[in-house]
Amino acid sequence: MPDIAAVKTVLAGQRVETPSWGYGNSGTRFKVFPQQGVPRTPFEKLDDAGKVHEFTGVTPKVSLHIPWDRVDDYGALAKHAKERGLQLGAINANVFQDDDYKLGSVCHPDASVRRKAVQHLLECVDIMDATGSTDLKLWFADGTNYPGQDDIRGRQDRLAEALAAVYERLGDDQRILLEYKFFEPAFYTTDIPDWGTAYAHCLKLGDKAQVVVDTGHHAPGTNIEFIVALLLNEGRLGGFDFNSRFYADDDLMVGSADPFQLFRIMHEVSQNGGLDTSANVAFMLDQCHNIEAKIPAVIRSVMNVQEATAKALLVDRNALTAAQRAGDVLAANAVLMDAYSTDVRPLLREVREEQGLNPDPVAAYAASGWQEQIAAERVGGKQAGWGA
Ligand code: PSV
Ligand code: MN
């Protein structure tokens, strides 16, 4: 049986990075429903992230998205973060919201557009230098909508050239996290549609390039945990953009649509050393809270990751290995299902209490009065939103 004290230590040490855009307004292409008290500046987003960290104790890092979180003084933003017990995490580049990018960014047929995109990526590394961030997260909306629209292989070469220029600029402690997504906004080809393409580019670049698995970026039915096991085995799993989905890239709260899938993913992570701090796997959220209250939704998501992790840690490894070696299919499956079926909420409550936290972060947040305070104070100005 797993050693419960050791399980608790891992749980207490696990970190989840929250996204600045999760605190802003978001929606679909049909409607964005504004919410009261939504931050108006990147500083206010950090104030909310600080509350999530205060009640969960495991979310000290916040990912930024540039230019959504552009400020004049990144040193001041980093200081604001530090005062709230936070650090600035991954810098997400954005080369998908400018008119010039209609036919792509780093894969665009016109070299001047490609240059502009690369300039932005390099600016993101400058920002990392100023904020102390170590991770540059790259997702490209590049692709085509119609057969024949552009040369598939030519676009790969343009992509490789741009990535090499950015890789060259990275500091010793900085890395590229390269993200893939099978479709959207492009509908025919996407230039980085899958883990294999991302992995091939990372291999060409070098050790400081790793793949990031956004759990909403696969075709339905894809075995994500297989990808995770493989990338960990190759030393190329840089991190996760956690969210969950029923249909496409729904960006719902992680673990809400398919908690069993999240458990299977965390089992492979745990099994293959991905929870060791030396593996440096970034457990990030990439979610949008369109209709639910944002801060409690982030807290709930963090708890969902913790619950899946706790269940994965409870897998009886010795029993599993013995059953696998004996070819005992049913016994091996039963070991996994026993762990998955365990109610780990009492264990996590204990872990929180041992850290001096309230065992119920959602209730603690609700009782804190923060939601009422921001609704009263954050009036006037322009609320931050996905894409703004
Ligand atoms: C693209 O769908 C994506 O997952 C990328 O990570 C973007 O940067 C992010 O969403 C924006 O929400
Ligand atoms: Mn993502």
Domain positions in the chain are 14-314+360-377
User: Which tokens go with 324?
Assistant: 């696998």
Instruction: Categorize the per-residue pLDDT at 183 as very low, low, confident or very high, splitting at 50, 70 and 90.
Output: very high
State in Å: Cα 253 to ligand 2 middle.
Answer: 13
- What is the average pLDDT value for the chain, to the nearest integer? 98
Q: Is the CB of 69 under 6 A from ligand 1?
A: no
Q: Which CATH class is domain 14-314+360-377?
A: alpha beta
- Closest ligand to C-alpha of residue 190 is 1
Lowest mean per-residue pLDDT among 10-19, 188-197, 341-350, 378-387: 378-387
Q: Is the C-beta atom of 249 inside 6 A of ligand 1?
A: yes
Nearest-CA residue for ligand 1 atom 7 is 139
Nearest CA to ligand 1 atom 11: 286
pLDDT at 203 over 70: yes
* pLDDT tens track for 102-153: 999 999 999 999 999 999 999 999 999 999 999 999 999 999 999 999 999 9
Q: What is the mean pLDDT of residues 189-212?
A: 98
Give the nearest ligand 1 atom to 286 CA.
Answer: 12
Q: What contacts 259, CB < 8 A, 6 or more positions away?
A: 304, 307, 308
Q: Give the model confidence (pLDDT) of 152-178 as tens digits.
A: 999 999 999 999 999 999 999 999 999
Please report, rounded to a whole number, the percentage of residues in the chain having pLDDT higher than 70. Answer: 99
pLDDT at 387: 64
Q: Which residues contact 84 (CB under 8 A, 6 or more apart)?
A: 46, 47, 49, 50, 53
Cα 33 to middle of ligand 2, angstroms:
22
Give the mean model confidence (pLDDT) for residues 236-254: 98
pLDDT at 388 exceeding the cut of 60: no
Question: For residue 346, what are the contacts with CB-CB under 8 A and spacing of at least 6?
Answer: none
The ligand whose atoms approach the alpha carbon of 285 most closely is 2
- Residue among 18, 68, 139, 249 whose CB has most ligand 1 atoms within 8 A, to mutate: 139
The CA 193 to ligand 2 mean position distance, Å, reads: 13
**Residue 1, pLDDT score:** 85
Distance from Cα 236 to the centre of ligand 1, integer Å = 20
pLDDT tops 90 at residue 226: yes
The average pLDDT across 8-14 equals 98
Residue 386 has pLDDT above 90, yes or no: no
What is the whole-number distance in angstroms between the Cα of residue 182 and the centre of ligand 1? 12
Mean pLDDT across the stretch 34-41?
98
Closest ligand, as measured to the CA of 239: 2
Q: Which of 170, 52, 201 is nearest to 19 (CA)?
A: 52
